[in-house]
Chain A
Amino acid sequence: MRRFYFSVLLISLIVLLLTFNNVVEAVTLKFWTGHGSPEMDKWFDEVLIPQFEKSHSGVKVERLRIPWGEFNEKIMTAFAAGTAPDIIFSGTEQIADEVFKGLARPLDEYIKKWGQYRDFNPMAWKHESIGGRIYRVPVHMSSRALMYNKTIFKEAGLNPNIVPEKWEQIAELAKKLNLRDDKGNLIRLGADLWFNHAFCQGFLYFLYQNKGKVIADDFSKSLFNSKEGIETLKYFVELFDTLTPPNLPGLPTGPIPNFAAGKIAMAINTPQGIFDLEKYAPKEFEFGIAFPYRKARVIQLYVNGIFITTQSKYPDLAWEFIKTFVSPDNLKAYNNMYRTINPRKYGKEIDDPFITQRPLLQAFYIQAQKIGVPYPIIPNYGTLQNRILHDNIEAALYKKITPEQALEDAAKKWDDTLKELAKEGVFNILKAK
């Protein structure tokens, strides 16, 4: 009898301990990000995460920053293995794959109850939505503008007050300012329009200014092989041939960015590039900023957002973390630290001295709100943009094929791939209510 009672007591104690253990066990949210720097990591670990954990007792956040070169690989393999994190802070181009491959959870219900939707730039939401549903919350935006060195303009006998906005102006100035020595070595590049790296993005940058489109809204076909696309690529090829033909050396790269060092007269640059100028450019250099246009005055917004994964067991808690991250104070601190554009709207005037004391950065903020349009959403961008479009534009730049042939061939391959994806049901999510 004693043994029986003892056994019952022991079993009850074990069950109690197990239950108690489950109750007090902390929930751990896994948060992965491709963005960051040592300064940013410190801010996450010492400010944002403790702030969230303090207001949500029993919840721990484990952060992991993944270098961009391995980001997609790590995310895809984690999802395939069923070990994906709860929250991912991802890049501009990744959104299509995140939605179409079923990695990101729709956030509409959360955002409806949140009440801060209208506080953000509507173009940022447009980028983070596919098929009428929102999948990511915008955290930071970047963009591109043409920055120019007024001091070089003055030295070359040009009017430093010219704002190189029109394509013809840019081409004329770039040719005048391009300088080579008698051995053909480049001493000064007239304009860095991303010919030798990311020329796909360079082409898309100019395409938008020419009122061109990239892909249909329903992802059924490509649209860049239009008259506007061909005009854009011809312009691009002509400037490449004049400024940095492939048979002549380009500028050597060093620890100091060439534009800050005064070796490039005009360059497509980002908000982050402004801080390179502050750090490296000689004090006597004066810089200006232009937002080029041809048929349309637009700037592309590279929207980077945060989403809850479909494998998260704690979507509500993950949403709480996202809300904390994108709160007005945190988003302001984050964007100022990372040197990017805050996707939250500002009022009539920008009241942040961090921005107002930097006229170039202020110009980005103003234009992002006025004329910003989202970067195109391209499914399977690794294949469509970085392989097919890249190879064809490169072949045109190297004069292996004409711009018309390049875009026609790329468009055909894009359309075949898009048809294939549609047949596999990748775009079925667009029909879901």
Chain B
Amino acid sequence: MKEIQREEIYGYLFVSPWLIGYILFIAFPVVYSLVISLYKYTLPFTIKFTGFSNYKEIFYDPLFRTALYNTAYYTILAVPLGIIASIIIALILNMKLKGISYFRTIYYMPAVISGVAVSLLWLVLLDPSSGLINYLLSLLHIRGPVWLQDPKWAKPALIIMSLWQSGGNMIIYLAGLQQIPEQLYEAATIDGANSWYKFWRITLPLLTPTIFLSLVLSIIGSFQIFTQAYIMTGGGPLNSTLFYVLYLYQKGFQSFEMGYASALAWILFVVVLVLTIIVFKTSWRWVYYEAEVK
């Protein structure tokens, strides 16, 4: 056997544990879910081939439209607000101040707490009569809403909660800020640029690759919002927090309509794929790479 062939075999042998796991636990279930999306598959025993009827039924399902709307609402607000919040915090934490590393740790900590723990914590914070949020608002003589009890305020409450975990993206922006060469700021200072000008003409353009990455990941992440609604609201009140993945879960694991739930999953995949492609295709207009000449 040639040396190259032997090396190839060893290479495959080394990746085989991961490859087997990938095939068994990721690739196979993904393909299987595509197949069962074409079946009326209700646990435990009902399996009948129905073609694309699940997909047809979905488009007439009012709860599908509600779930898609709620998820889009959440994404449209939470993603930009999250990016802005993360950039602002990163700018502050990029300052060379004594003890700044402690603040970086504090701001990052919410990102590492489990979703369930965060949800339970925010249930207490958002309590309309005894929660901290409404107490702080009352100090400003503002009567806080009933948050998760009110269909108008339940989604905004979850969006505010997502901002509390901006630390995760903040770290990425911090790394991005530290990549920007100091000489550019020095040159700008010599030319008489003020702070805002430096931010708008140097920091922000050179941060766009990081923003691009964060935007794509945030869109994918926000379309999969589940834990907060599952723990805190169950999709209510009045289905105002019935997000897409929560609806998919309810269809699959509470109504046991596996075929329908699989079809929902594939529609979600297409939606997120389309949005990601749009972001990629439009990135040439607003993403600047340092060495690039526009």
Contacts from A to B (Cβ < 8 Å):
72-73, 76-77, 79-80, 101-103, 183-186, 196, 246-252, 380, 382-383, 386-387, 391, 394-395, 398, 400, 424
Cβ of B65 within 8 Å of any chain A Cβ, yes or no, is: no
A-B residue pairs, 10 tightest by C-beta: A249-B128, A79-B44, A80-B44, A76-B43, A249-B129, A252-B130, A185-B129, A382-B254, A73-B253, A76-B44
CB distance B150 to A80 under 8 Å?
no
B256 at the interface (CB under 8 A from A): yes
**What residue in chain A is nearest B253 (Cβ atoms)?**
A73
Query: In the complex, how many residues of chain B place their beta carbon closer than 8 angstroms to a beta carbon of chain A?
Result: 23
| B255–A394 CB distance below 8 A | no
Decide: A394 near B238, CB < 8 A? Known: A79-B45, A101-B44, A101-B45: yes
Query: With A248-B146, A394-B236, A395-B238 in contact, do A72 and B254 touch (Cβ < 8 Å)?
Result: yes
Contact A252 B43 (CB under 8 A): no
A76 & B256 in contact (Cβ 8 Å cutoff):
yes
Q: In the docked arrangement, what's the CA distance between A183 and B254, Å? A: 40
Instruction: Report A-chain residues with C-beta under 8 Å of the C-beta of B127.
Output: 249, 252
Query: B45 touching A246 by the CB < 8 A rule?
Result: no
- Bound-state CA distance A204–B5 (Å) is 72
Interface residues of B in 228-242 (CB under 8 A from A): 236-239
Q: Which residues of B contact A79 (CB under 8 A)?
A: 43-45
**Cα distance A250–B237 when bound, in Å?**
14
List 20 additional A-B contacts (Cβ < 8 Å) besides A246-B150, A383-B255.
Answer: A72-B254, A73-B253, A76-B44, A77-B44, A80-B44, A80-B45, A183-B138, A184-B143, A196-B149, A246-B149, A248-B146, A249-B128, A249-B149, A250-B128, A250-B149, A251-B129, A382-B255, A391-B239, A398-B237, A424-B46
**Do A249 and B238 touch across chains, with their CB atoms under 8 A apart?**
no
Which residues of B from 93 to 151 have beta carbons under 8 Å from A? Answer: 127-130, 138, 143, 146, 149-151
Query: Quick one: which of B44, B151, B254, B256 contacts A398, CB cutoff 8 A?
Result: B151
Inter-subunit contact B129/A80 (CB<8 Å): no
Q: Which of these, B44, B146, B237, contacts A394 with CB under 8 Å?
A: B237
- CB under 8 Å from chain A, chain B span 16-73: 43-46
Name the CB-closest residue of B to A82. Answer: B44
Chain A residues with Cβ below 8 Å from B44 are 76-77, 79-80, 101, 103
A386–B235 Cα gap in the complex (Å)?
Answer: 12
Residue numbers in B under 8 Å from A248 (CB-CB) = 146
Chain A residues within an 8 Å CB radius of B129:
185-186, 249-252
A183 to B255, CA, bound (A): 42
Contacts of A73 in B (CB 8 A): 253
CA distance A398 to B44 in the complex (A): 36
Q: Nearest Cβ in chain A — how far from B252, in angstroms? A: 9
Residue of B44, B255, B256 with most partner-chain A CB within 10 A? B44
Within 8 A of A (CB), among B138-187: 138, 143, 146, 149-151
Q: Which residue of B lies closest to A181 (CB)?
A: B129
Task: Assess the B45–A102 pair: CB atoms within 8 A.
Answer: yes
Q: Which residue of B lies closest to A79 (CB)?
A: B44
Q: What is the bound-complex CA distance between A133 and B254, given in angstroms?
A: 27
- Chain B 246-262, CB within 8 Å of chain A: the 1/0 string? 00001001111000000
For this complex, 26 residue pairs linking A to B, each with C-beta atoms less than 8 Å apart, are A73-B253, A76-B43, A77-B43, A77-B44, A79-B44, A80-B43, A101-B44, A103-B44, A183-B138, A183-B143, A185-B129, A196-B149, A246-B151, A248-B146, A249-B146, A249-B149, A250-B128, A251-B129, A252-B127, A252-B129, A252-B130, A382-B254, A386-B254, A394-B236, A394-B238, A398-B238
Give chain A's interface secondary structure class: loop
Alpha-carbon distance between A107 and B110 when the two chains are bound, in angstroms? 54
B198-224 interface (Cβ within 8 A of A): none
Residues of A within 8 A of B237 (CB): 246, 394, 398
Q: Is the CB of B255 within 8 A of A387?
A: yes
Write the chain B residue with the least CB distance to A395.
Answer: B238
B34 to chain A, nearest CB (A): 19
B233 shortest CB reach to chain A, Å: 12
Q: Residue on A with the closest CB to B138?
A: A183
Cβ-closest chain A residue relative to B144: A249
Tell me the bound Cα distance from A249 to B253 in angstroms.
Answer: 32
A251 to B130: give the CA distance in the assembly, Å. 9
Docked complex Cα distance between A387 and B128 (Å): 26
**Chain B CB within 10 A, most for which of A80, A101, A186:** A80
Min CB–CB distance A251 → chain B (angstroms): 8
Q: Which residues of B contact A80 (CB under 8 A)?
A: 43-45
Question: Roughly how many angstroms separate A394 CA and B255 CA in the complex, as a whole number?
Answer: 20
Q: List the A side residues contacting B253 at CB < 8 Å.
A: 73
Give chain A nearest CB distance to B137 CB in angstroms.
12
Residues of B within 8 A of A250 (CB): 128-129, 146, 149
Q: How far is the CA of A76 from the CA of B255 in the complex (A)?
A: 10
Interfacial chain A residues near B150, Cβ < 8 Å: 246-247
Cβ contacts under 8 Å, B43 to chain A: 76-77, 79-80
* CB-CB nearest in chain A for B236: A394
What residues on B are CB-neighbors of A247 within 8 Å?
Answer: 146, 150
Q: How far is the CB of B229 from chain A (nearest CB, A)?
A: 15
A102 surroundings in chain B (CB, below 8 A): 45
Across the interface, name the chain B residue whose C-beta is closest to A400.
Answer: B238
Interface-centre pick from A77, A249, A382 (highest chain B CB count, 10 A): A249
